[in-house]
């Protein structure tokens, strides 16, 4: 095993929020996507094998930003690849822990990491909820699956399945699931509702470009004030996080059972990551286990970033984190050999109890907690 440099438990870096682009509705270069899926359920983008060792992860987006997108299926698939890689690049650029953990896992596993899912957070008001992000993925062949509810947090979520779990070589593996949550704004206090609605009103059709905002890493509303951020943080850390992070990726999740080395089970991976100095979310225990025992999850604690608010205040705010998921083989398939087991033979979907605790990865309680 290669020697690994121990990383600090929490990173803080400075980020001056790019100007919001609430004039997005005037952008004319976006292709018009039809309501039907561009990628059929039997076809997944065909990608070249990607070497992640140099951490490029096929994210050399700069060389592709001037590409001319044609209207063929191949062109649409190319657009999808570039867009999602851009989302990942924004996420990794802003979250040193995520980047360091990915490099750490690759240094040991020597293989290409597969992502289990990407997650996004949204405001459930005026078209800025789940649908604003979901449309992009639905247009490219994803299927809407189950809804999850989190009454105490005033949240709901939907997850979306990719066209196929086992075909393709995107990010070194199949396309990830998509998990999108939204704050039930109408259940918030009148004061917090007023804050949120102040930022999303009069934005025209900007909610149509949530995916574009995620690829660019900027807000679709004006840079918030610190007083507004504090108002939301007092009631909902989820709301405060969304106000300053917008549609950027909340987290990506490594598919642990697809790893090939000794860290190919989540208990070993958790121990290994903790030994390297990374702080794991301890809410409900480091390892979150579904009632059926087949979905095992854990996550790091979010990084912090210095955010420059509109009223001249600069303060640290939670950014994003990285998650790990191991999906065990369903009971009816346990007699299959390792070579025969495919992703659809494993436990699918999400679990409210697990997800509720994973949400706490961005809470100040977890961020300020000393590492064990």
Query: How many residues does the structure list for the chain?
Result: 372
pLDDT score at 112: 76
Please, is 132 exposed, middle or buried when counting C-beta atoms within 10 Å of its C-beta (0-12, 13-18, 19+)? buried
Please check whether residue 277 is in contact with residue 11, taking contact to mean a CB–CB distance below 8 angstroms.
no
Is residue 215, in this structure, part of any structural domain at all? yes
Helix ranges (DSSP H) in the chain: 73-94, 96-109, 130-139, 190-200, 210-216, 226-235, 237-245, 266-275, 352-358, 364-368
pLDDT score at 25: 32
Is residue 59, in this structure, part of any structural domain at all? no
Please check whether residue 140 is in contact with residue 82, taking contact to mean a CB–CB distance below 8 angstroms.
no
pLDDT score at 232: 98
pLDDT score at 74: 62
Is residue 34, in this structure, part of any structural domain at all? no
DSSP strand pairing (115-123 vs 251-255): antiparallel
DSSP characters for 78-100? HHHHHHHHHHHHHHHHH-HHHHH
Cα distances (Å, whole numbers) of residue 354 to 137, 146, 147: 24, 15, 14
Between CA 255 and CA 266 the distance in angstroms is 9
Please check whether residue 300 is in contact with residue 270, taking contact to mean a CB–CB distance below 8 angstroms.
no
Is residue 46, in this structure, part of any structural domain at all? no
- Residue 331: give the domain boundaries: 13-22+72-368
Is residue 55, in this structure, part of any structural domain at all? no
Which residues have C-beta within 8 Å of that of residue 337, sequence separation ≥ 6? none
Angle, vertex CA 96, rays to CA 53 and CA 13, nearest 5? 145
Residue 296: which CATH number? 3.10.180.50
Cα distances (Å, whole numbers) of residue 294 to 131, 268, 346: 29, 16, 8
DSSP strand pairing (177-183 vs 295-299): unpaired
pLDDT score at 79: 83
As for how many domains the chain has, the answer is 1
Is residue 53, in this structure, part of any structural domain at all? no
| Closest CA relative to residue 366, chosen from 277, 306, 302 | 302
Between CA 82 and CA 215 the distance in angstroms is 9
CB atoms within 10 A of CB 66: 6
Between CA 371 and CA 94 the distance in angstroms is 22
Tens-digit pLDDT profile for the chain (372 aa)?
A: 333 333 333 333 333 444 444 433 332 223 333 333 333 333 333 333 323 333 333 332 233 333 333 445 566 677 888 899 999 999 999 999 999 999 999 899 876 789 999 999 999 999 999 999 999 999 999 999 999 999 999 999 999 999 887 765 555 568 899 999 999 999 999 999 999 999 998 788 888 999 999 999 999 999 999 999 999 999 999 999 999 999 999 999 999 999 988 899 999 999 999 999 999 999 999 999 999 999 999 999 999 999 999 999 999 999 999 999 999 999 999 999 999 999 999 999 999 999 999 999 999 999 998 665
| Closest CA relative to residue 360, chosen from 326, 323, 325 | 323
Between CA 41 and CA 218 the distance in angstroms is 32
| Closest CA relative to residue 14, chosen from 243, 223, 305, 246 | 305
Between CA 89 and CA 108 the distance in angstroms is 22
pTM across the whole model: 0.81
Which residues have C-beta within 8 Å of that of residue 370, sequence separation ≥ 6? none
pLDDT score at 204: 81
Is residue 123, in this structure, part of any structural domain at all? yes
Please check whether residue 60 is in contact with residue 285, taking contact to mean a CB–CB distance below 8 angstroms.
no
Is residue 7, in this structure, part of any structural domain at all? no
């Amino acid at each position: 095993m290669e020697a690994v440099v121990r990383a600090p438990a929490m990173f803080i870096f400075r980020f001056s929020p790019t100007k919001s682009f609430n004039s997005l509705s005037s952008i004319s270069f976006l292709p018009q996507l039809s309501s039907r899926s561009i990628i059929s359920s039997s076809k997944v983008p065909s990608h070249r094998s990607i070497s992640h060792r140099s951490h490029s992860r096929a994210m050399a987006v700069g060389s592709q930003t001037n590409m001319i997108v044609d209207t063929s299926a191949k062109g649409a698939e190319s657009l999808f690849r570039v867009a999602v890689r851009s989302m990942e690049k924004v996420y990794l650029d802003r979250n040193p822990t995520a980047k360091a953990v990915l490099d750490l896992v690759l240094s040991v596993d020597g293989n290409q990491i597969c992502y289990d899912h990407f997650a996004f957070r949204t405001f459930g008001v005026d078209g800025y909820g789940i649908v604003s992000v979901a449309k992009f993925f639905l247009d490219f062949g994803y299927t809407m699956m189950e809804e999850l509810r989190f009454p105490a947090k005033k949240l709901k979520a939907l997850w979306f399945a990719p066209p196929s779990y086992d075909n393709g070589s995107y990010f070194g593996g199949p396309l990830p699931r998509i998990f999108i949550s939204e704050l039930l704004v109408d259940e918030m206090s009148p004061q917090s509702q007023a804050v949120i609605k102040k930022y999303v009103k009069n934005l025209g059709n900007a909610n149509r470009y949530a995916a574009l905002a995620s690829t660019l890493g900027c807000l679709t509303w004006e840079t918030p004030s610190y007083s507004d951020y504090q108002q939301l943080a007092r009631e909902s850390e989820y709301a405060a996080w969304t106000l300053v992070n917008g549609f950027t990726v909340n987290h990506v999740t490594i598919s642990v059972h697809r790893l090939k080395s000794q860290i190919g089970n989540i208990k070993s991976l958790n121990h290994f990551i903790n030994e390297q100095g990374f702080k794991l979310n301890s809410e409900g225990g480091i390892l979150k286990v579904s009632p059926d025992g087949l979905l095992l999850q854990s996550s790091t604690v979010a990084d912090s970033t210095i955010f420059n608010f509109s009223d001249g205040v600069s303060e640290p705010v939670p950014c994003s984190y990285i998650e790990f998921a191991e999906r065990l083989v369903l009971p009816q398939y346990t007699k299959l050999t390792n070579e025969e087991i495919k992703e659809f033979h494993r436990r699918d979907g999400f679990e409210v109890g697990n997800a509720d605790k994973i949400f706490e990865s961005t809470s100040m309680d977890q961020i300020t907690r000393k590492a064990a």
